[in-house]
Amino acid sequence: MLQIPLWKRVIIWGLCALGVLTALPNLFYDRVERHNDAVATIERTGVETPELAAERALWPDWLPSNLVNLGLDLRGGAHLLAEVHLEDVYKARMDALWPEMRRALAEARAEIGGIRRLPSDPSELRIRIERPEAMARAVEIANSLSSNVVSLSGIGQRDLDITAEGDTLVIRLSEAERAATDDRTMAQALEIIRRRVDEVGTREPTIMRQGTNRILIQVPGIGSAAELKELIGTTARLTFHPVIGRTTEPDPTPRPGTIVLPSVDEPGVHYILDEVPVVTGEDLVDARPDFDQNGRPAVSFRFNPSGARRFGDYTAANVGQLFAIVLDNEVISAPRINQHIPGGSGIITGNFTVESATNLAVLLRAGALPAGMTFLEERTIGPELGQDSIEAGRIAAIIGTVGVVVFVILSYGLFGVFTSIALGLNIAMLFGILSTIGATLTLPGIAGIVLTVGMAVDANVLIFERIREELRTARGPARAIELGYERAMSAIVDANITTFITALILFFLGSGPVKGFAVTLVVGLVTSVFTAIWVTRVMVVTWFERRRPRQITV
Amino acid sequence: MAFRLKLVPDQTNIDFFRWAGLTFWGSIALVVLSILYTAVAGLNFGIDFRGGTTIRTEAANPVDVAEYRQALAPLNLGDVSISEVFDPTFGENKHVAMLRIQAQEGDEAITPEIIQAVEQALKQVDPTIRFTAVESVGPKVSGELIRTAIWSVLAGVAAICVYIWLRFEWQFSVGALVALIHDVALTVGIFSLFQIKFDLSIIAALLTILGYSINDTVVVFDRLRENLIKYKTRPLRDLCNLSANETLSRTIMTSGTTLLALIALLVFGGDVIRGFVFAMTWGVIVGTYSSLYVAKNIVLMLGVKRDWGVKKDDGPAGTQFAEGK
C-alpha cells in the first residue's frame, strides 16, 4: 500500500541534496564570483600571485561554484541590437567583379563592341553592350567568370546570376551565393565584434546572431550603450591609396578609377585617390598605440609578409609622392614617402589623443567589419538600478514565501509543514538548476520565482484537498493518502502542461528579460511538480510509517 | 481536532448558475466594454511597441517637471513626456523621474548626441541628477515587437485550446477559449482604463495569466469529467455545480497563496516591475472568476457527450461533433 522502495527514497533525497548543494554558491554570490574570477585569471595567465590566491581561497575549490547569471536589468550594462548591412558586401563583390568583367569583355570587343557600366542598384552590375545581337556571346563570357557556390546547401549552383535585358547585361549574385555570403558576413561580423568586446575585457558578454541580419550584443558592467556603440559601430576599414591630387572643390563625378575622399584634419580639403588600394587592413598583423617623433599620440602597425612586400615595392617606386592612409572613407593623413620602407611597419599620425589612438589600435587589431551596421535598439541600465531591483525582489520573495508558509501551515497543519519544507527545497532546486545550466536571472525572472512559490503549493493543495475528500469516504487514512496522490495526478498534469505550453511560447517568441522569465517559469514548473509530488510523498509516508496514526487530519 | 484555517467550509453547495444570467451576460458585457474602451481610449504603449527613448533619472532634489520640460524645450525633440515616479521602497533623498522622447527619424534607435544633449540639459537643472537607465527602440524593431507580441498571445491561446480539445472534448475547449478571451480582454481593458504603460513585459504577464487561468479551469474540467463518468444520469447542470463546489476549496487556496506572493511583489518589488506584477495580480483574480463563472457556462450551453469511458471504435473521430446534446 503506502510504500516507497528504498532506492526511490534515496534518489529523491539525493536529488534534493544535489539541488541544495548547487544552489549554495548563490547565497555567497560576491565571494564565489571573486573566487571564479581568480580561478579564471590564474588559468589564463598561468601565474598565481598571493592576491589571486587569497581571492581563490574565498570559496573552497571542491564545492560547486556555478552561479546564476544576472541579467542586464539586474547587474547593469548595455544592450544593443544591430542590423548588419549585408548589401554592403554585395556591392563590394560587384565593384570587385567589374574590372575583371571589363577586361574579359574587352577581349571580345570585335564581337560585342564597346561596353559601358550603367548606374544601377549597387548590388548588381549593369553593362550596356554596343551590339545587342552578340548578347549570347557576352553572357557566355560573363558565365565563364562565375564559379560554383561554396556552401553545403548551395551545391551545384553558380555564384552569379546572369541575364540579358535588351542591350544590357545584368549580373547579380545568385540566391545561393547571397545566402552563403550572408552567412559568411554574419559569422565574420560576430567574430570581429567578439574580439573588440573581449579587448576591453568585460565579463561574460553575450554576442549572438538573431534572424538573418541582426546581432544582439549584451555587455554587463559597461558604462553606457553609447560607449559600446563607439567600440563596435566603427567599420575600421583601413586602406592605403596612392594620392593623385588634392582639391578644395571636390568634383561630384570623379574620373573612372579614382575616388574623392574628405580629409579628417583639414576641413574642406579632399583628396583624389586611386580607387585600388595598395595595401589594406587585412594585411595587418599588429597595431598598437604609440607616439610619433614629436611625442604626439599615434598608432604603429606591422604588415604580414605579403603586405610588407607590396608596401615596400610601392614606397621604393614612389619616393617623393603622397600616400593616403584612409580609415572608413576618410583620409586620416597623407604623408609624403621620404624613402623606401622595407620592413613592413609604419606609423599613423593624425589628430589623435592617447585614448583615440588606443581605440584605433584595438579596432585595427580586431579587424574591419565586413559591412556597416545600424543600431535598432539600445538599452543602458545603471548598476544602482539593478542593485535596487535585486534588493526589492529579494524582500518581496522573502515576504511572499513567509506569507505562503504561514498560510499553508494554518490551513493544513502538519501537512502544511511538509509542504513548506518542499517549498524550500523547490526554491533551492530551482536556483541549483538555473546555476547549473547557466541560465540568466532577470527581473521578470524574479517575479517568475515568486509566482512559482505561489503556484507550487497548488499541486499540494490539490492532493491535500483530495485526501480530505477521500477521508470522508472513510476507508482508513493510509488508503486516503494513497488515493489522494493518485487521483489528484490527472488534474496536476493537465494544469502544469498548459502552463508549460505558454512558457514555451514565451521562450521562443520572447527576448531578453521575457525569455529569462520563461526559463524560470519552466524550471520552476519542473521542480515544483517534483517536490510537490515526490518530496512531500516521501515525507508523508515516512511520518505515517513511524506514527501509524489511526486517523489523520489534513 | 486540530485547528485549521478554512477559507471555504468542507461542504459547499453554491449554485454557480443561480445568477448565471447576471454573471455570464455581465461578463460578456464587461468584455465588450473593455474592447470598446480600449479601441476608443487606446493603450499607453511603451517604447517597445511605439519606438522612442525612455530615460530614468535619479536625483537628490525633488523633481520639478516644469523645469525639466523647460530645459529640454530648446532641443526640439518632438513629443517629450516627463513623469515623476513614486515608490515606497525609495529612500528620502531619492527622487525618480521617467522621461519619454518620441521616436526620431530613421531606423536608428537614437543618436548618442541626443542622449548627451538631454543629459547635459538636465544636469544644468539639477547637478545631483544621475541617469540610471536609458532605453531606446527604433521604429523598425517596435513594429516587429508588436507583431511578435500579438502572435505570441494568439499562439498561446491556440495551443492551450488544442491541448484541451485533445485531453477533453471540443466543448471544453470552446469554454476555455471564451474564458481566455475574457481574461485577456479584461486585463487589456484595465490597462487602457488606467493608462498603465503597456510594454513587452505585460505581454509576458498576459501569457502567464493565460497559463494560470487555464490551470484553474482545467482543475474544474478534470473534476467534471470524473463526475460525468461517476454519475451517468445526473443533469449536466448539477454536475457542473458539484464539480465546482468540490474543487472550490482548492481554487480559493491556490488563488490565495498566489495572490499572497504577488501582493508582496506588488508592494515591495519596486516600481520597475510594478506594471508587470499588477497585470498578473489582476489576471489571477479575473482568471479565478472566469473559470468559475465563464468556462463552465459555455460547456453547459454547448452540452457534452455522456459516454465517457465507453470505448468507441466505430467511425472517425470527427463524428463526435454531431453527438453533443
- Picking from B252, B159, B83, B94, the residue whose alpha carbon sits closest to that of residue A505 is B159
Q: Does B141 sit within 8 Å of A447, measured CB to CB?
A: no
**The residue type at A262:** P
Indicate the residue of A226, A385, A391 with minimum beta-carbon distance to B115: A226
- Of all residues in chain B, the one with the smallest CA distance to A403 is B260
Do the beta carbons of residue A494 and residue B211 sit within 8 Å? no
Beta-carbon contacts of residue A77 (< 8 Å; ≥ 6 apart): A218, A219, A220, A221, A222, A380, A381, A383
Residues of B in contact with A404 (CB under 8 A): 257, 260-261
| Residue A320 grid coordinates | 617623393
Q: Does A411 sit within 8 Å of B262, measured CB to CB?
A: no
Flag the least confident range among A78-92, A351-365, B32-46: A351-365
Q: Does B250 sit within 8 Å of A461, measured CB to CB?
A: yes
- The mean pLDDT of A99-113, rounded to a whole number, is 85
**Of residues B29 and B91, more confidently modeled:** B29
In the predicted structure, residue A422 carries a pLDDT above the cut 90: yes
Is the CB of B247 inside 8 Å of chain A's CB atoms?
Answer: yes
**pLDDT of amino acid B307:** 61
- CA distance to partner chain B, nearest, from residue A48 (Å): 37
In the predicted structure, residue B317 carries a pLDDT above the cut 50: no
**pLDDT of amino acid A474:** 63
- The mean pLDDT of A63-67, rounded to a whole number, is 87
Q: Which long-range contacts (CB under 8 A, 24 or more apart) does A114-120 make?
A: A118/A168
Q: Does B264 sit within 8 Å of A407, measured CB to CB?
A: no
Residues of B in contact with A513 (CB under 8 A): 200-201
Q: What is the pLDDT of residues B134-172, one digit of tens each?
A: 888 888 888 888 888 888 888 888 988 998 898 888 889
Classify residue A497 as left (phi > 0), alpha (psi -120 to 50) or beta. Answer: alpha
**Of residues A83 and A473, more confidently modeled:** A83
**Of residues A384 and A433, more confidently modeled:** A433
Residues of A in contact with B252 (CB under 8 A): none
Distance CA A463, CA A533 (A): 8
Name the most confidently modeled range: A14-23, A243-252, A484-493: A14-23
In the predicted structure, residue B291 carries a pLDDT above the cut 50: yes
- The mean pLDDT of A278-290, rounded to a whole number, is 84
Is the CB of B249 inside 8 Å of chain A's CB atoms?
Answer: yes
- CA distance to partner chain B, nearest, from residue A180 (Å): 25
In the predicted structure, residue B75 carries a pLDDT above the cut 90: no
Distance CA A12, CA A8 (A): 6
What percent of chain A lies above the pLDDT cut of 90? Answer: 10
In the predicted structure, residue A209 carries a pLDDT above the cut 50: yes
Indicate the residue of B200, B258, B264 with minimum beta-carbon distance to A399: B264
Is the CB of B140 inside 8 Å of chain A's CB atoms?
Answer: yes
With b for 16 or more beta-carbon neighbours within 10 A and e for fewer, the A447-472 pattern comes to bbbbbbbbbbbbbbbbbbbbbbbbbe
- CA distance to partner chain B, nearest, from residue A176 (Å): 27
Q: Does A468 sit within 8 Å of B10, measured CB to CB?
A: yes
- Picking from A267, A246, A242, the residue whose alpha carbon sits closest to that of residue A322 is A242
Say what the ipTM of the complex is: 0.80
Residues of A in contact with B273 (CB under 8 A): 389, 443-444, 446-447
Beta-carbon contacts of residue A228 (< 8 Å; ≥ 6 apart): A78, A80, A197, A217, A219, A222
- The mean pLDDT of B82-97, rounded to a whole number, is 85
A336 φ/ψ angles, rounded to the nearest 5 degrees: -85, 140
Distance CA B220, CA A491 (A): 9
| Residue B316 grid coordinates | 472517425
- Of all residues in chain A, the one with the smallest CA distance to B267 is A396
Residues of B in contact with A375 (CB under 8 A): 108-109, 138
- Of all residues in chain A, the one with the smallest CA distance to B257 is A454
- Give me the total of CB pairs closer than 8 Å, taking one residue from chain A and one from chain B: 246
Alpha helices in chain B (DSSP H): 20-41, 47-50, 65-72, 112-125, 139-167, 170-193, 200-230, 236-268, 274-293, 295-302, 320-323
- CA distance to partner chain B, nearest, from residue A10 (Å): 30
Q: How confident is the model at residue B323 (pLDDT cuts 50, 70, 90)?
A: very low
- Coil/strand/helix, residue B26: helix
Distance CA B3, CA A168 (A): 93
Dihedral, B64, B65, B66, B69 alpha carbons, nearest 10: 130
Residues of B in contact with A229 (CB under 8 A): 112
Q: How many CB atoms lie within 10 A of CB A307?
A: 21
- The mean pLDDT of A518-526, rounded to a whole number, is 88
Dihedral, B263, B269, B270, B271 alpha carbons, nearest 10: -50
Flag the least confident range among A69-83, A153-167, B198-212, B238-252: A153-167
Task: Report B:32-91 residues touching A (Cβ under 8 A).
Answer: 56, 58, 89
In the predicted structure, residue B34 carries a pLDDT above the cut 90: yes
Q: How confident is the model at residue A419 (pLDDT cuts 50, 70, 90)?
A: very high
In the predicted structure, residue B213 carries a pLDDT above the cut 50: yes
- Picking from A348, A355, A517, the residue whose alpha carbon sits closest to that of residue A441 is A517
| Residue A285 grid coordinates | 598583423
Q: Testing the interface with B: which of A458, A497, A519 to mutate, by most B Cβ within 10 A?
A: A458
Task: Report B:181-210 residues touching A (Cβ under 8 A).
Answer: 200-201, 203-204, 207-208, 210
For helices A225-233 and B112-125, what crossing angle results, to 10°?
150
Residues of A in contact with B207 (CB under 8 A): 502-503, 505-506
Q: Testing the interface with A: which of B115, B273, B278 to mutate, by most A Cβ within 10 A?
A: B273
Beta-carbon contacts of residue A57 (< 8 Å; ≥ 6 apart): A35
| Residue A385 grid coordinates | 538600478
CA A22 to chain centroid, in Å, comes to 26
In the predicted structure, residue A428 carries a pLDDT above the cut 90: yes
Q: How confident is the model at residue A296 (pLDDT cuts 50, 70, 90)?
A: confident
- Coil/strand/helix, residue B10: coil
Residue A530 DSSP class: H
Residues of A in contact with B259 (CB under 8 A): 454
Residues of A in contact with B258 (CB under 8 A): 451, 454-455, 458
**pLDDT of amino acid B1:** 44
Indicate the residue of A224, A495, A513 with minimum beta-carbon distance to B215: A495
- The mean pLDDT of B185-205, rounded to a whole number, is 90
Q: Does A518 sit within 8 Å of B218, measured CB to CB?
A: no
Residues of A in contact with B107 (CB under 8 A): 83, 374, 376
**pLDDT of amino acid B324:** 38
**The residue type at A455:** M
- The mean pLDDT of A25-40, rounded to a whole number, is 87
Distances (CA, A) of A332 to A265, A266, A286, A528, B168: 7, 10, 18, 62, 72
Q: Does B133 sit within 8 Å of A382, measured CB to CB?
A: yes
Please name each of the domains of chain B with its CATH number.
20-44+142-302 (1.20.1640.10), 52-137 (3.30.70.2040)
| Residue B249 grid coordinates | 476549496
Looking only at the bridges linking them, the beta strands covering A284-291 and A297-303 are: antiparallel
**Of residues B7 and A119, more confidently modeled:** A119
- CA distance to partner chain B, nearest, from residue A220 (Å): 13
Give CA angle at A476 (A473, A480), nearest 5°.
65
**pLDDT of amino acid B316:** 43
In the predicted structure, residue B32 carries a pLDDT above the cut 90: yes
In the predicted structure, residue B321 carries a pLDDT above the cut 60: no
**pLDDT of amino acid A435:** 92
Q: How confident is the model at residue A201 (pLDDT cuts 50, 70, 90)?
A: low
Is the CB of B222 inside 8 Å of chain A's CB atoms?
Answer: yes
Distance CA A353, CA A335 (A): 19
Distances (CA, A) of A278 to A234, A281, A316, A344: 22, 11, 13, 13
B5 φ/ψ angles, rounded to the nearest 5 degrees: -75, 120
